[in-house]
Structure 1
Amino acid sequence: MRITLYSATDDRDVPIADARTCAREPAGHGTKATVVDHGAAADHHTAFLRSQPSIACLLPVAR
């Protein structure tokens, strides 16, 4: 299973520390979670916009 958490250093709505804490939980069960930091120039909304293409490519395509 692949788990990726997206955040940003300057996200004031959900601190990146929360993502890092959440990433430790699956590690205790043998699954690695990756935290992607969109950096200091990104707030919560910007981190979402930057993450959207990565998330969208994982979704199934309706046919």
Structure 2
Amino acid sequence: MGFVRHAPIDEQILASASRFDAAALHVVGRFLLWDLDDPSGARPYLQAAFERGNSEAAIDLAVIALLRA
């Protein structure tokens, strides 16, 4: 799955994610999923992003569900 490259995670994104910012959680989740090939690690971040209103996280959560099928 490592064919998609995203921008590296910087301190500002991590700080925002620690404050449960939906967009930052989504960025961290996508980085874990696509760049580090870690769907198990990505899922909590993507789930939290979705629960906080980031609808784009649903696509990545669906990919994780398909990988587990």
User: Would you call these one fold, judging by a TM-score over 0.5?
Assistant: no
Q: Which has the larger radius of gyration?
A: 1
Higher relative contact order (CA closer than 8 Å, sequence separation 6+): 1
What is the TM-score when the length of structure 2 is the normalising length? Answer: 0.30
* Larger helix percent: 2
Say which structure is richer in strand. 1
